[in-house]
Amino acid sequence: MSVIKKIILNQNFIVQTLKACQPHWGKLGWVTYKRTYARWLPEQQRTENWPETVKRVVEGNINLDPRLQTTNPTSPVIDELTTEAQDLFKLIYGLAATPSGRNLWISGTDYQQRNGDALNNCWFIAVRPQAYGQSHIVPAYLNQQQPAPSMPFAFMFDQLMKGGGVGFSVVSQNVARFPQITRQVKLIITISSKSRSYNDALKSGAVNAEKWQATQQTADDQTKAAYYQVPDSREGWVLALARLIDAHFNLKNVAPVSQITLDMSQIRPKGTRIKGFGGTASGPMPLIEMLLDVNRILNAAQSSAASRLTAVDCTDIGNLIGKAVVAGNVRRSAEMALGSATDQAFITMKQDQKKLYHHRWASNNSVAVDSGFANYEPVAASVAKSGEPGIVNLDLSRNYGRIADGYQPGIDGEVEGTNPCGEISLSNGEPCNLFEVFPYIAEKQGWKLARVFELAARYAKRVTFSNYDWEVSRRAIQKNRRIGISISGIQDWFLAEFGKRVVTGFTTNQDPKTGRIMKKPIYDSAITKRVDQLYQVVKTADQKYSQELNCQPSIKLTTVKPSGTVAKLAGMSEGMHFHYAPYLIQRIRFQANDPLLPALKACGYHIEPDVYTKNTMCVEFPIKAINADDPHFASAGNVSIEEQFATQAFLQKYWSDNAVSCTITFQPKEAAKIADLLYQYRFNTKSTSLLPYSGAKFKQAPKEPITKAVYLEKLRAITDDVATVFEQQNGGRDQKDAALIGQSDCATGACPIK
């Protein structure tokens, strides 16, 4: 039934809240918000301001409560949800906590109503033939329940085009389920000479549609050819890919074809505004290039000795999809490929530099292990060289929540992988569902943390009642109701609240099996107690709300997300990560015509042309970390690799029953320790990735450590507030065509911008 009673935040309440509360903007906060999450308001010819965004987001979420879908929600329910909406507004407006970046962008929009999937940041899919089921996309030639080789790639393409990230599993047992490729397919892509994309499309590999049609009228045998005019829609792009992939296989009750013609004439030209998700259209060129490349992979696989897809082939197809999505103006595509730990071709696939630069950059790659895996030396050697692969322990994910709660066989038994940043263990087709709390800010603003985490749990729970597009996702969500309540700004909170970092020292002992010398961490008891208490708050809140909604309690509840863009809003350290440096220059890239640039220039920020990309400007922001001058402060540039491993293990033990996203940085001299540390913490962490600390080795590096003196000098050059100057320059009007470049929702740059 349709919602007959909506919770709407009263304008008087909002006005009073704005008087009583100020957002905890970081140095990059307002700029990042304005370019990333402020939606275009066509009636007013401007983008949203922060209170309007928060109002939209809160109302979009609170009205997902299924009790409002009845014909007569009770007065106590209305009162309860109204109070909750007001508390959420205060909480998010002050930046003491926020939903995921995807919610900030999508919640409360018409797009949310049409595509409930869009509220979730990231997804996971097992790459093996699967049935489409009762999904919004089903190729016309298939029965809904018929397993199809195309399905996981169609799912991936669809979610990436909605702005989500996708983790995908190409472990050997999945890839082995693909049948033999039975035929090579000739792919012809056509476009009308009347299309505004005609000349660019020809350069990408298309041919003239009118001339091709004329030749077909005299062709002798077209019984093994298929023609498909690609509709101007996301679904149309997905179906074009699905049709091409499935044509290479024998499918029951599907006529075989050896030639496919895909016509691109209907696809809107480059630069056209996309009304639903936002941004501008790319034209058909990225799709054309992707389809031709995918077809080459499938044809080459068919001509191999086994005539089967390999894990590398499947990863390449996923990467080509990601590349097309990036070029298609969703701005960023996040992928993580999960392969087998014994698959050397998969582990070394990024060493092919030509393919790396062409498309293999599009995913972070990890290997799946269990707790019995012990041969970490080859993995560590590869990590020291290239920062990959990461490690995902599926055994721990399936049989443990928090490590402190002990072995619980099968507690999450259907887990097959993770989202691209590794903080949420997921079953096939399942999304991550995140909400982020900054305890440092919440306590500073007078919140009781128990109420903050209760609000967080309830917000995320409501997201599970969205209208999901794919049947495989609906099944997983209804079964698991998985949420991920994250603590962020963790290093800032520990120092401010407890006056120390959580790891207070190490004891040294020897592993009895291998003789390895290991440093066992000692954790601060007060921090341990507090973190454990907050976990119990989330658990109790979920149980209570699940009872009210008469639904399944969430299978898992907590996580530590890497953060990134959202942490920049609040000016906090990202997830569990240490600040990059106590003082630094943060460089942000903007399109050269971005309407924010004049305001930034007027305020005194240093702006120069980007040395890597045309029509792009690079702006420098001087940043001081919270607690930078505290004697216990540590940064990514000087904290030891041992302390980072130990901190991740602490959070996995006492806070996160999902996983903890962490990119551990290491100095060259620490590379020799990686194998031993991966072995030591194999029973304590569910997913881990590592990356060499780069400092300021690259020109116009995103983050460059500086001294306090340089910071103060640069700070003196900034003479005004960007938000104020921008308002004065634009008279309340601005443009939304320009997009922020080089930002992500994750500290590693892996996840999508929204």
Return the active site residues. 421, 423
- For 237, the token pair is 């792009």
Closest CA to 279 of 40, 43, 104: 40
Report whether 747 contacts 663 (CB < 8 A): yes
**249 Cβ contact partners less than 8 Å away, ≥ 6 residues apart:** 149, 179, 180, 181, 182
User: Reduced to 3 DSSP states, what percent helix, strand and coil does the chain have, rounded to the nearest 5?
Assistant: 40, 15, 45
- Residues β-bridged to residue 186: 259
Q: How far is the C-alpha of 207 from the C-alpha of 263, rounded, in Å?
A: 9
Q: How far is the C-alpha of 664 from the C-alpha of 672, rounded, in Å?
A: 14
Pairing of strands 558-559, 687-692: unpaired
Q: What are all long-range contacts of 293-300, with beta carbons under 8 Å and residues at least 24 apart? A: 293/320, 293/359, 294/241, 294/244, 294/245, 294/320, 295/185, 295/187, 295/244, 298/181, 298/184, 298/185, 298/244, 298/245, 298/248, 299/184, 299/185, 299/248
Cis peptide before 409 (omega within 30 of 0): no
- Decide: helix, strand or coil at residue 352: coil
Q: How far is the C-alpha of 358 from the C-alpha of 260, rounded, in Å?
A: 25
For tokens 């949310």, the residue is 112
Alpha helices in 587-720 (DSSP H): 597-602, 641-654, 674-680, 708-716
Q: Where are the beta strands (DSSP E) in 74-222?
A: 97-99, 122-126, 165-169, 186-191, 207-208
| C-alpha angle 661-665-668 in degrees, rounded to nearest 5 | 155
Q: What are all long-range contacts of 503-510, with beta carbons under 8 Å and residues at least 24 apart? A: 503/643, 503/646, 503/647, 503/650, 506/642, 506/646
Report whether 241 contacts 291 (CB < 8 A): yes
Closest CA to 477 of 456, 461, 453: 461
Closest CA to 335 of 754, 753, 752: 752
Residue 85: burial class (beta carbons within 10 Å; 0-12, 13-18, 19+): buried
Q: What is the DSSP letter of 5?
A: S
Reported residue count of the chain is 754
Measured CA distances, 630 to 488, 494, 527 (Å)? 19, 12, 18
Q: How far is the C-alpha of 429 from the C-alpha of 376, rounded, in Å?
A: 30
- Residues β-bridged to residue 273: 280
- Decide: helix, strand or coil at residue 607: strand
Q: What is the DSSP letter of 682?
A: T
